[in-house]
Amino acid sequence: MSVQSKQRCFIGLGANLNEPVAQLQRAIAALAGLPASKLGQVSSLYASRPMGPQDQPDYVNAVAELHTELAPLQLLDALQQIEQQQGRLRKAERWGPRTLDLDLLLYGNEQLNSERLTVPHYGLAEREFVLYPLQEIAADLQLPDGRSIHGLCQQVPRRGLTVVTPAPR
């Protein structure tokens, strides 16, 4: 039996219901407790406008670095379990309000495309609430296709993205 080496992954966190800052703090603690994993850096918490319907509260977003031996789908299952434990209900409505959203943004340098999981995350390169927190904790990061996070941030405006809580240092 081979032991999988730890992969450097990045998880996007978002919430806009039931005390979003507290939701993200609990989610970060849950990420730190994942088996065969070690939590790395965590970005500041950022306020952002909703992507979808505008008749919902603003979001709080962050990005966390995770070093894990979990396979991609095992990690996805663990993230979805954390969401459910924090009251996430999956509805047909896309981009609606939610207690917690955890997205696997990057899994090492892998490119995956299955029914359940696409990595890098399909919206990573266009979403300011992902790019700027990611740049904060991994400024020299390059996507598997060679694009740099720094370069993407220069192309995507902040759209009102502001720091709510600075990253723990």
- Active-site annotation, residues: 88, 98, 101, 103
Handedness of CA 99, 105, 108, 114 (dihedral sign): positive
Neighbours of 64 (CB within 10 A): 23
Burial of 115 (0-12, 13-18, 19+ CB in 10 A): exposed
Cβ-count burial 122-150 (b if 16+ within 10 Å, e if not): eebbebbbbbbbbbbbbeebebeeeeebe
Calpha distance 40→37 (Å, rounded): 9
